[in-house]
Amino acid sequence: MSDFNINNFKKYNIIPNVVFDVGSHDPYDIPAMIHSLYPNTGIYCFEASSKVFYDHFTCNLPIKNVHAYNIAISDVEGELVFFEVEQSDYSGSICEPIYEKHKEYWNFTYHKEKVFSRTMDYVITKIGIEEIDLLHMDVQGAELKVMKGLTLIKPKIIFAEACEFHTYDTNTTREDFTEYIVNLGYSVISVSPCDTMFVRKDFL
C-alpha cells in the first residue's frame, strides 16, 4: 500500500484532475484512495508485468476514470527486459535485481520477460495531457529512468519509492535521484525510509 497522504492535495491547494500511477500494481491502492475524495480524477495506471496486469487490472476493470496500460515507462521507446520476481507481485523491475542485496531480507527467484516501454513524453502527447497533478512512482529502482523520459510537463507533486536503487542494477543512488528532481525546480517535502515526496516550488 502506498504511504501517500491524500490530504497533500488540500495542503498545497491542488485539485487532482490528472494522476499518473507508474508501477501501478493494484487499482485498489492509489486509484481507490484518490477516488474516495476525488471521484472525478482521471487516473492513468502503468504496469509492465503482464501477470500483475492480468491479475489486478484485467480482472477488475472497468473502473470509472481509471485508464490502465500494460507497458513499462522508462527513458527509452521499444522493447525491454523485465525481471519478474516470482515470490512477489511488488518487486518486478526493468532493472535487474542484485541477489546479494536482496538475500538479507528474503530469498527470491525471477525470470525474464520482454515488455514494451514508452516514455512519459510519448504517453502524455498521445493521450493529450497538459498537466499532471500527482506523479506516483513505485518501479523498483527505475524511478530516475521514468523521470528522464519526462521533459514536456512538470508534475505538481512527485511521490516516489526511492529506497531500492541499491538493490537493483540501476547505476544510481537515492541522492542522485533527489538531486535530479530538485534541479528540475522541486523542493523535498518529506523523506521516509522508503519514499520521498517532492512539490514543485511554485506551489509552496
Distance CA 81, CA 42 (A): 29
pLDDT of residue 27: 81
pLDDT of residue 101: 57
- Position 173 pLDDT exceeds 90: yes
Q: Which domains does the chain show, CATH number per domain?
A: 15-203 (3.40.50.150)
Q: 52, 134, 62: which is closest to 93 by C-alpha?
A: 52
CA angle at residue 125 from 60 to 171, to 5 degrees?
Answer: 80
Pairing of strands 110-118, 78-85: antiparallel
CA 191 to chain centre: 17
pLDDT tier, 168 (very low <50, low <70, confident <90, very high otherwise) = confident
Output the pTM of the full model: 0.94
Digit-coded pLDDT (tens) for 140-163: 999 999 999 999 999 999 999 998
